[in-house]
Amino acid sequence: MDSDPKGYELNGKPRLDSPGARPDALPKRPLNMNSYANKKSVAESMLDIALLMANASQLKAVINQGPGFHSFVPLVVLISISLVLQITVGVLLIFLFKTDLNNPAKHAKLEFLNNLATGLVFLIVVINIFITAFGI
């Protein structure tokens, strides 16, 4: 064994970038794309739920203000559209979460659905910017 402590990790194994490390000693475990995609979908779903709750609260505040509020109709329409799109994205994310990414036959469909979900999230953000601009 080499006496240089810089070439070893805390567990005593040679560091992969050290001169004495062997390339065949690298772990051969493949990256689990399902795990990555599932974690990403769960994080997006949590953000979607938070925004859904905020929009529901905004809708309640607008309705409590009543039709006499200067931006009542545009806000109700924008918040309703945002809520419908958020529910749609939530359903898409659940579908993406449940699907196996290792099946090459499903890659094109999953890529389309992922792009659709991303586009809808962008649209939701734009709508919510307008909701904020009209103000409650």
pLDDT in the model for residue 100: 74
pLDDT digits (tens, 9 = 90+) for 23-65: 555 556 665 666 766 677 677 777 778 888 889 999 999 999 8
Measured over the CA atoms of residue 119, residue 120, residue 126 and residue 129, the dihedral's sign is: negative
Which residue is associated with the tokens 């399902």?
A: 34
Q: Are 20 and 7 in contact (CB under 8 A)?
A: yes
Q: Using CA atoms, how far apart are residues 75 and 58, in angstroms rounded to an integer?
A: 9
Share of the chain above pLDDT 70, in %: 71
| Domains of the chain, residue spans | 1-30, 33-134
Q: What does the DSSP assignment read for 102-136?
A: T-GGGHHHHHHHHHHHHHHHHHHHHHHHHHHHH--
Whole-structure pTM over 0.85, yes or no?
A: no
What's the pLDDT tens digit per position in 8-25?
555 656 565 655 555 555
Residue 46 tokens read as 């949590």
Highest mean predicted confidence (pLDDT) among 2-11, 12-21, 68-77: 68-77
pLDDT exceeds cutoff 50 at 2: no
What single string gives the DSSP state of each residue in 15-43? Answer: PTTSTT--GGGS--PPP-HHHHHHHHHHH
